[in-house]
Amino acid sequence: MCVTGCPYKKTYYNWQTGKSEKCILCYPRIEAGHAPACMHSCVGRIRYLGVLLYDADRLPEVATVDESDLVEQQMEMLMDPFDPEVIQQAEKNGIADSTIKAAQKSPIYKFVKEWGMALPLHPEFRTLPMLFYVPPLLPVMASLGKKRNDQKLNDVAKRWDDEWLYDTSTEELWGTIEDSRFPMQYLANLFSAGDTEKVKNRVKKLMAVRIYRRWKTVGDISKEKAIHALKDVNLTTKMAEEIYYLTSLAKFNDRFVIPPAHREEAIELTENTGDRKGSTGFGFKEGTTERGA
């Protein structure tokens, strides 16, 4: 879906690493503070982009922990952008104020660290990508009073009988997570190195927010049940409202908080492509073996 959503659809050859890359995350757009083309044109409004501050010194340690601890360790590696010590160290390392402010407004930090609703893709590969997914939640379940196909439409009144209307007020409205059409083990193999409990925890949070909003809008669920559902997953009513806003009503600037690249930083990355083409060859390129270590 991401490849077909790309307006460029061109493979990019990186002369520095000697590798071809399908997606360059539209770095000219990112450096100017604009969203990548595929995210900008995504009709589903399901993509978010923002800044995450992390402890780079812990990368080798986190990438080599036991497989069952990979997700927790990657989460712990992410720094709190509101912590004065983190801000002081970031400024000491040359991170601009605009980047720190963008990290404080980042929707990614909220989903991943503050609310604990997103998981990394294939953590067992130990590449520690800053790419996170919120597990899917199925539509609201409903039931029908009638199940036969005869006389569904009233011949005289030309209307549907009440028994053919969807009933969403039963106790089985939400179903159980284990009975979901999305197998938990399948999602766990994608996002949590096979640990189904981590996926269940995220899905329960989504379900709790849905129950809370059902009480607020429809009113067929008691307030006590809605508040209890939130408490079970360590969410407050304020957090539930914020989650609802960011997932359903968020504006473009809420979903994409991208600080423009500073000129002094961009110039350091500038290299003459022609010179690189003339001096590169096969095998490992200079300086690439340490990349991502």
What pLDDT does 261 receive? 82
244 Rama sector, left if φ>0, alpha if ψ -120 to 50, beta otherwise: alpha
Domain residue ranges of the chain, discontinuous segments joined by +: 1-48+258-276
The SS3 assignment for 160 reads strand
- What is the Cα–Cα distance from 152 to 85, expressed in whole angstroms? 67
- What is the Cα–Cα distance from 235 to 110, expressed in whole angstroms? 13
SS percent in the chain: helix, strand, coil, step 5:
45, 5, 50
Residue 158: CB atoms within 10 A of its CB come to 7
What pTM was estimated for this model as a whole?
0.80
What pLDDT does 108 receive? 97
Name the nearest CA neighbour of 266 among 30, 12, 17, 23. 30
Contacts 24+ apart (CB under 8 A), 6-15: 6/37, 6/38, 7/37, 7/38, 7/41, 8/37, 15/273, 15/276, 15/277, 15/280
End-to-end CA distance of the chain: 30
The SS3 assignment for 30 reads helix
Name the nearest CA neighbour of 45 among 271, 254, 282. 254
What pLDDT does 144 receive? 54
Cβ–Cβ < 8 Å for 78, 53: yes
270 CB burial (10 A radius; 0-12, 13-18, 19+): exposed
Alpha helices in 41-83 (DSSP H): 59-63, 70-77
What pLDDT does 173 receive? 45
- What is the Cα–Cα distance from 190 to 203, expressed in whole angstroms? 14
Give me the residues of the chain with pLDDT under 70, please: 1-3, 140-176, 179, 263-293
